[in-house]
Amino acid sequence: MKYILIDGPLHETLKPFTWTRAVSDLRVGILCIREKWAYHTGAAPEVLTTQVLQGLYPQPTLGDGVYVQAGVLPHVALVEALSALSVGEVLSDDRGIIGYRALRPQSPEELSAHKHIHFTPSIGRIERPWDLFLQNDAALRADYQLLTHGRASAPLPPGNQYIGNEIFIEPGAQINASVLNASTGPIYIGADSEVMEGSLIRGPFSLGAHSTLKMGAKIYGATTIGPHCKVGGEVSNSILWGYSNKAHDGFLGNSVLGAWCNLGADTNTSNLKNNYAPVKLWDYATERFAQTGLQFCGLMMGDHAKSAINTMFNTGTLVGVGAVIFGGGFVKNFVPSFSWGGVTSSTTFSWDKFVETTTVVYARRGIQPSDQEWAVLKSVFEATQVYRK
């Protein structure tokens, strides 16, 4: 059975992260959503996203298949229910459509005329940026079971303190003079990664391949660090995508950083308002601040954004793609993409300067951006000009 993951309206509600990737490439738990579906179905799913982003993915063949809302997190019972659908049947739960089987993508009007089957087991859905850290605990536990089932961990390196049994070390990982506490959730240490001396890790936690925890890092679950990252200081209930760095002291809590981000030394985020009121966060879909209903919510930072040393992020701050943030005082709660400044005022980080900087950053990792990546980033630069006026 072919599976096609469809972005639909989620492309808007999950910005800034979906400015630069399809919804199914959002990372929650150890794996991104698309990787989870591949593990559960035994084949790579196709991706149906916006016209701008589609160039980053193979063109979907469409035809007879199961079309799934891309923010849905799979599990065994859900995949079984979807695979049992006949053409013209829709699987839904109390929150709406999960997926359907058809010969081509269907409009909401067409789907309303199809036979609907109610799915009662609970499923995880990623529909807003803050859902990523809210769902990360459950997703980490599920991915840990998925990735380690039937496999043996590499030997636990000596000279460390291990608490609990759910600790899995991939080949090539180094852990030195640290404490790993899996009594509160599993701990997964990726291949060729390094946990430096004095690190304190409390699960659930995942460290991506080739990533580094700096000396004395303090990590509270549920936290995911993607591949090729460097992280230090204090981190709690947060997600960092690949190639992003928070290498120095400072607090990051209830936050999500996209790819290729960098937080300068002593950058701090607030994840709780002084009056304990619910947090609001900028919503691209409505172009106003939306009520999250959460008491704890920190920083949502799009790809390629960077902060200078001693930057202070207020509770519920959203930073767009490619922004460079510096200056004394607290950063504004909404920093548009490709802003230069962001505290009391900002100008535009010019496209030419952004290309120059990004080329250097990629080259340090031995990577050359594709023409499709540049095209996507340029489209974001142009689409977000309205916010920088």
Query: Are residues 208 and 190 in contact, defined by beta-carbon separation less than 8 angstroms?
Result: yes
C-alpha closest to that of 319 among 236, 263, 379: 263
The whole-number pLDDT of residue 312 equals 96
Among candidates 91, 81, 153, which has minimal Cα distance to 116? 91
What is the DSSP code string of 341-382? E-SS-EEE--HHHHHHHHHHHHHHTT----HHHHHHHHHHHH
Burial of 19 (0-12, 13-18, 19+ CB in 10 A): buried
pLDDT for residue 178: 98
Query: Pairing mode, if any, of strands 279-283 and 65-69?
Result: unpaired
Would you call 130 helix, strand, or coil by DSSP? coil
* pLDDT the model gives residue 38: 97
Q: What are phi and psi of 117, to 5 degrees?
A: -115, 130
- Tokens standing for 370? 């594709």
Q: Does residue 16 have a cis bond before it (omega within 30 degrees)?
A: yes
Local mean pLDDT, 10-residue blocks, the chain (389 residues): 96 98 98 98 96 95 95 97 97 96 94 95 97 98 97 96 97 98 98 98 98 98 97 98 97 98 97 96 95 97 97 97 93 95 85 96 94 97 91
Instruction: Give the pLDDT of residue 268.
Output: 97
What pLDDT, on a 0 to 100 scale, did the predictor assign at position 62?
87
Query: Within 10 Å of residue 209's Cβ, how many Cβ atoms?
Result: 17
> If one looks up domain 129-247 in CATH, what number appears?
2.160.10.10
SS3 of 20-87: the string is: CCCHHHCECCCCEHHHHHHHHHCCCCEEECCHHHHCCCCCCCCCCEEEEECCEECCHHHHHHHHCCCC
Give dist(CA 298, CA 294) in Å, integer: 10
Whether residue 49 contacts residue 57, with contact meaning beta carbons closer than 8 Å, is answered with yes
The CATH number that domain 3-127 falls under is 3.90.550
Q: State yes or no: cis peptide before 154, omega within 30 of 0.
A: no
Look at residue 79 in the predicted model and tell me its pLDDT.
97
- What pLDDT score was predicted for residue 344? 74
Dihedral sign for Cα atoms in the order 15, 20, 24, 29: negative
Q: Are 325 and 304 in contact (CB under 8 A)?
A: no
Residue keyed to tokens 């290498």: 247
Residue-range domain boundaries for the chain: 3-127, 129-247, 278-389
Beta bridge partners of residue 162, listed in sequence order? 180
